[in-house]
Structure 1
């Protein structure tokens, strides 16, 4: 995705929005110097043109002395970023009325080899291999706006299995090998279990697999979910009265084609086109996913959307939220469009791909403050 630095001018962010975020969030930092550095870094993210590296932020704010203090604050200091993330989510709950948690991958190209997590990696939504970091962000999303509140880095095996690399980047002992799909589930489950905010439906992409394991873990943790799946994902129609039930396991797309007579029009808001109202067809049927070896199969709802009634379904999802109407489920699914639009409009402007450094903790602190900057822009500069 091309970088879009400067797509939202910093001068457009009202100071009262920034000041309120500083008061609400940075009061959690116990030391006055850390509160000052946090506000300094946030304002630097919002005003520095181009890449939001510590060096560039310091050049904008005051030079070498500022660079040294900000570098220590981000990479070497001992403050915990997690309470700030929880507080940011709570703030958005009160100000933005989010309807879902949307898990979105972010790919950060990097040429070097010393920054934590850098490796040759495959980016599914780009369809290509790149060199850099791969992470998952959890965004609180409503039809009007979205902002990231939690981050989890996908650590390739060379970073997990190399003690010297782990030590140099200060990778915690608890961090192990996880696929991108496992990372997405872990980030959502952590929020549901440890954060004192209302649980919202989790929207995530499982088109590369891992559906049964993800459904089991999310359901076992009490997390409602809506997972996008591949048309070739095999499921079984759960209702004996439905076409295809006797055929057993079939590709999900085939099951939906057999029940297309059940389709109904659903209106939803298109974030990519200034929230214009769109109408597409959707249908949902109960299906059974194959269970783990020796385990019980899990019954879910399979939903499909047709952008063109004469073509196969354009998108497919499974969900455990079987009691929700199809229209409500599709509108939740469409919130990923809100996240995509806001990431394109604001993400690079807030510095979400700009951390320069080796430290695992430094990356997390930068991403936390860049998420606050993103929130400030989203709240202060409506579309």
Structure 2
């Protein structure tokens, strides 16, 4: 009897076919039989253990106290490399989920103590205060009906140093760059691209505090399609001067420019993944440059209230993209956020407590696989989107 079947007998509620298929693809890459067995056990434990997904709770569901030490060693002190496992997970989702884009989004994990790997005191904009926490960057494969994380970077000294080695391929001309958030996003997206996924997917960057000029420059250098959330205060200069009367040479805020072109707004329909209902927004787009760059990008504004200011602001190097297609791509960030709250937290994505840098990466890799199982089970009938967005191309 295989390790997968032995554990499966204990938890009949686990979606057997999906888990067995995924285990076969992911853990075939592990070099030793005992590692493949522990990988299957850990994944099943993440899917079935009650409460926080600690090693003790996982072991209680898959092998009792005798399994605790071996599972702890498998995650925190073993030798297996998590990167090929992530690449295999991404290729599996490429085939089964058929993602429309990759979404880059932050993950902040508050911590009571200071001994877990990567913990520091940092200001968290979503909370409006300084908290003791871990901070990570996640890359998610996202379809309108479901999503799953495929790659992670823990924002600490070790990760920023490793990002810098990857950034050597970005041709910045800087021998030892200080790695910024924008460079971490670009480096992590590049690693995903190198996993041999075929057609390049747009990268939706939902980090409004990230420097938009740096993102545009880095993604343009690698010809990677980009949509990035920005603030209304972002300074822009209109590139399509013939579209507006009067003085359009001056630099203005994105908010001011979108107010000037509000008459060009058009309704766009999209589906709210959190509530499962159809919604309509007003959208306007205009080509701009971000000083001091001369690179043209498309500024996208979205209104939920026709009489108010834009609700969201985005820029994209998909300058010829239809407004409706681009807005629906931005909504994939909302799909990832919804699935994080609904799936990632229950399967233990944020539950690793150890001090091991490698252990954090192995745990979050296996938790990402557990998330994929639940996401695919919740949306088994993945289909092509109702709107044809296939014409999107980088400039």
Fold-level similarity (TM above 0.5): yes
| Distance in 2 between residues matched to 1:181 and 1:107, nearest whole Å | 17
Corresponding residue of 2:147: 146
Question: Helix, strand or coil: the match of 1:19?
Answer: helix
Corresponding residue of 1:372: 369
2:226 aligned with 1:225: yes
Q: Please state how far the C-alpha of 1:239 moved relative to its aligned partner.
A: 1.5
2:106 aligned with 1:118: no
CA offset digits 1:150-192 (Å, max 9, x no partner): 000111xxxx3xxxxx7xxxx7963666444443232112212
- Greater RCO (Cα-Cα under 8 Å, separation 6 or more): 1
1:324 to 309, 321, 326: 321
The answer (yes or no) to whether the contact 1:13–1:381 under 8 Å persists in 2 is no
Corresponding residue of 1:350: 347
CA offset digits 1:190-238 (Å, max 9, x no partner): 212x211132111113422411111111111121010010000000011
Query: Counterparts of 1:164-203 in structure 2 under 5 Å?
Result: 174=162, 178-192=179-193, 194-198=194-198, 199-203=200-204
Deviates more, 1:104-113 or 1:257-266: 104-113
The answer (yes or no) to whether the contact 1:46–1:373 under 8 Å persists in 2 is yes
2:360 aligned with 1:363: yes
| Distance in 1 between residues matched to 2:182 and 2:211, nearest whole Å | 7
| Distance in 2 between residues matched to 1:310 and 1:65, nearest whole Å | 64
The answer (yes or no) to whether the contact 1:206–1:228 under 8 Å persists in 2 is yes
| Distance in 1 between residues matched to 2:375 and 2:196, nearest whole Å | 23
Corresponding residue of 1:257: 259
Change (3 A) 1:120 1:238: same
Taking structure 1 as the reference length, what is the TM-score of the superposition?
0.88
Query: Counterparts of 1:130-145 in structure 2 under 5 Å?
Result: 130-145=131-146
| Distance in 1 between residues matched to 2:126 and 2:103, nearest whole Å | 15
Question: Helix, strand or coil: the match of 1:241?
Answer: helix
| Distance in 1 between residues matched to 2:45 and 2:309, nearest whole Å | 48
Corresponding residue of 1:21: 22
2:59 aligned with 1:62: no
Deviates more, 1:118-127 or 1:13-22: 118-127
The answer (yes or no) to whether the contact 2:232–2:313 under 8 Å persists in 1 is yes
The answer (yes or no) to whether the contact 1:154–1:178 under 8 Å persists in 2 is no
1:337 to 328, 334, 337: 334
| Aligned Cα root-mean-square deviation (Å) | 1.9
The answer (yes or no) to whether the contact 2:105–2:207 under 8 Å persists in 1 is no
Q: Please state how far the C-alpha of 1:114 moved relative to its aligned partner.
A: 2.1
Show structure 2 runs of 5+ residues with no match. Answer: 1-10, 165-177, 381-395
Taking structure 2 as the reference length, what is the TM-score of the superposition?
0.86
Change (3 A) 1:11 1:280: farther
Change (3 A) 1:79 1:49: same
Show structure 1 runs of 5+ residues with no match. Answer: 1-9, 161-165
2:32 aligned with 1:31: yes
Change (3 A) 1:77 1:172: farther
| Distance in 2 between residues matched to 1:145 and 1:90, nearest whole Å | 16
| Distance in 2 between residues matched to 1:378 and 1:172, nearest whole Å | 30
Q: Please state how far the C-alpha of 1:42 moved relative to its aligned partner.
A: 0.3
Corresponding residue of 1:5: none
| Distance in 2 between residues matched to 1:313 and 1:56, nearest whole Å | 47
CA offset digits 1:288-316 (Å, max 9, x no partner): 1113xxxx522111010110110011111
Q: Please state how far the C-alpha of 1:129 moved relative to its aligned partner.
A: 1.9
**Number of positions where the alignment pairs a residue of Structure 1 with one of Structure 2:** 355
| Distance in 2 between residues matched to 1:232 and 1:173, nearest whole Å | 31
| Distance in 2 between residues matched to 1:203 and 1:196, nearest whole Å | 19
The answer (yes or no) to whether the contact 2:206–2:333 under 8 Å persists in 1 is no
Q: Please state how far the C-alpha of 1:64 moved relative to its aligned partner.
A: 3.3
Change (3 A) 1:154 1:179: farther
Change (3 A) 1:138 1:245: farther
